[in-house]
Amino acid sequence: MKNIMIFLCLMTYITIFSCAEEHILSEDNYKANKSGLYVIKVNGEIGYIDESGDVVIKPQFKDGKRFTYSMATVKVGELWGYINTDGKMVIQQQFDEAHPFKGGLARVKIGNKYGFVNRNGKYIIKPKYSEAYDFSEGLAAVADYDEEYAKMTKDSAEGEMDKWYYIDKSGKKIIKNIYIDVNSFSENLALVEDNVDNYNSNYYFIDRKGSVVIERSGSSFFEGLSIITNKLLDINNKYKYGYMNKLGKTVISPQFDEAFHFSEGLAAVKIEGKWGYIDKTGEYVINPQYKKAFSFSNGLARVLIETNDGLKYAYINKIGKIIIQAQFDDAEDFYGSLAKFWKERKNGYINKLGEVVWMSK
């Protein structure tokens, strides 16, 4: 999307942003699925099952997303709206984009402008921003298109002509500084990018008042730590990754080939082609041994293991014991009580015992 995202998404697997879809925010990070409902797709239509695998909202929507705070965004025709856990459309389809509720508000798009609605579908902040992120820790990053700069600069990449700043839930500009790119707040800090000149930028962390508190770059903070990189490429033309604390001090020196953020006290890291898990002192809790590893979620982590049938995903606990055997061609983290998997051209959901509760036909 823009410099700050490109820099950090290329810099490391995890990130300040979720490169594939939406921003990972420390405020709720989608939390547990308290509604207990999960997305399924049958004959090209979206519906929802409960934790037992029973269909509770029959497949009928063109597209749909996860339930968060008992509401889900669904697409009817070419527009998005919101349903409740009974499948009733409680905010009529009217948006070109609609995102999950976070902090009581949802980010929506009409035409080419973003705004925010409450759970009754009322605009709290009318669509007027060229770009916007979800609310996190009471603040949202929004952007206005800089027409004057656009006239002067014909060769800029898409998105580089936005002016970014932060607003509160009333739409009031809280941090009045203008940046060329920003990150959502996580643990009361946000990474921003500021122009030095036409060719160089500064990256630094600000607090909720806009004051510079860490004069260096890194990923978003999770559990008090941020992923950092060494400034120079190694002999293989690659960076190494480590972690810093909220004082900007390096606490785990850059030594890993790839790294994820800390989750439930552990972080997945890669070294010499193998993935393992470290604690916050940098000591290995689970030695490097996996082809790929992901962050812990609800006490389990998915890992990619070499089997007689090729590479398959399994789930392990925090001491490295395999809880759900390697058998999946692809898999997701546990979200609430269930995790989605793909196996032999089918997809479905398993519970934490590894039992299949639903599978596509």
- pLDDT score recorded for residue 148: 54
Instruction: Name the β-bridge partners of 79.
Output: 76
CB 82 within 8 A of CB 121: yes
**3-class SS at 7?**
helix
Residue 316 identity = I
Contacts of the segment 211-216: beta carbons below 8 A, 24+ positions apart:
213/189, 213/246, 213/248, 214/189, 214/244, 214/246, 214/247, 214/248, 215/248, 216/244, 216/248
Other C-beta atoms closer than 10 Å to the C-beta of 227 total 31
pTM over 0.75: yes
List the beta bridge partners of residue 108. 98, 115
Predicted confidence pLDDT, tens digits, the chain (361 residues): 444 443 444 343 333 333 323 334 333 444 545 679 999 999 999 999 999 999 999 999 999 999 998 999 999 999 999 999 999 999 999 999 999 999 899 999 999 999 999 999 999 999 999 999 999 999 999 999 766 554 444 444 444 568 999 999 999 999 989 999 999 999 999 999 988 666 678 999 999 999 999 999 999 999 999 999 987 655 566 789 999 999 999 999 999 999 999 999 999 999 999 999 999 999 999 999 999 999 999 999 999 999 999 999 999 999 999 999 999 999 999 999 999 999 999 999 999 999 999 999 9
Angle at 75 between CA 344 and CA 57, to 5 degrees: 65
pLDDT at 3: 43
**Would you call 111 exposed, middle or buried from its count of C-beta atoms within 10 A (0-12, 13-18, 19+)?**
exposed
DSSP secondary structure string, 297-334?
BTTBEEEEEEETTEEEEEEE-TTS-EEEEEEESEE---
**277 in Cβ contact with 285 (< 8 Å):** yes
Q: What is the SS3 assignment for 113-124? A: EEEEECCCCCEE
